[in-house]
Amino acid sequence: MASQPSNIYSLLSELEAVLDKGFPLLSNYLVVVKRDTVESLVDSIYASLPTEVQNAKSLLKHCDEMQMEAKQRAQKMITDAQSEASKLLSESVLLQEVQRKAKEFQEQVIADCEELKRKAMEEADAIRIQAREEVNRTKEGASVYAENVLANLEQNLNQLQQIVKSGQVQLERQRSSIDGNNYVEM
């Protein structure tokens, strides 16, 4: 295993040498090299990498995949939580609206009941006043009727008294005339 890292270093040195031997372009900014030579060296470098590096590479790839999956699950959890929060907020707003409407309805019913009570009291008062007035009219009518009946009775009694007196006077005259006739005859 100790030979593998030294082998990698020697392969990297060869790659540097190939780049140094390449045809320079634009003041050594670009270098033209044989593609086959570079590819062969890169393949040898990969082959010379220790299995731990290759395992680490697959492990890194697996970690990246796990991170991506964790990010996706976390994003889904966040999205679900936001959706649930929106739903709860919507239900809360709906509940508040229902409670507000119920309170308005309750206040309206109370106001309507108060208005009905007020009208009923006014009607009761009007009926009471009307009944008092009717009682007073009836009393007045009864008094007038009683006065008329009593006045008629008094008038009738006066007429009867006159008739009785007249009858008494006539009886007295008749008696007097009978007594006077009887007295004379005697």
pLDDT tens by residue, 40-58: 888 888 888 777 776 777 7
What pLDDT digit, counting tens, does each position of 132-161 carry? 998 888 888 888 888 888 888 888 888 888
Tokens of 124: 């009761």
**Cα Dmax for the chain:** 210
The answer to whether residues 44 and 11 touch, using CB atoms and an 8 Å cutoff, is yes
Percentage with pLDDT > 90 across the chain: 13
Tokens of 47: 């082959």
Angle at 30 (CA atoms; ends 26, 35), nearest 5 degrees: 140
Residue type at 128? Answer: R
Tokens of 185: 């005859």
